[in-house]
Amino acid sequence: MSKNVEKTIIILMIFSFIFTPGISFADEEKVNAISITADLLIFRPAGILLVPVTAVLFAVAYPFTLIGKNTDEVYEALIAENLRYTFQRPLGVDVPIE
């Protein structure tokens, strides 16, 4: 694998760890202009970019999930959660910016 591809993969993995949605313990989310702007300009585009990355990771992990019989759990963790966070969540909600 070339150095550029390795660097790109490492950078995308770092972004995926940074922009992974956290667990929210608050009863009500306070949505303000800053969280909406950050969501619109940073978190949604990052989520859109990470959809194919997580799909590739799932494709690589798929044979191992068949052996371990946990394909549904891995699909949920890698693909479904990212799709819900990116496309189904209301704008500005669950953004790690106050």
pLDDT the model gives residue 32: 85
Dump the DSSP string for 11-78: HHHHHHHHSSPPP---SS----HHHHHHIIIIIHHHHHHHHHHHHHHHHHHHHHHHHHT-HHHHHIII
pLDDT-derived band of residue 98, with 50, 70 and 90 as boundaries? low
pLDDT the model gives residue 25: 47
Between residues 7 and 86, which one has the greater pLDDT?
86
Residue 93: CB atoms within 10 A of its CB come to 13
Does this model's pTM top 0.75? My answer is no
52 and 14 Cβ atoms separated by less than 8 Å = no
pLDDT digits (tens, 9 = 90+) for 19-68: 555 544 444 567 888 888 999 999 999 999 999 999 999 999 999 999 99
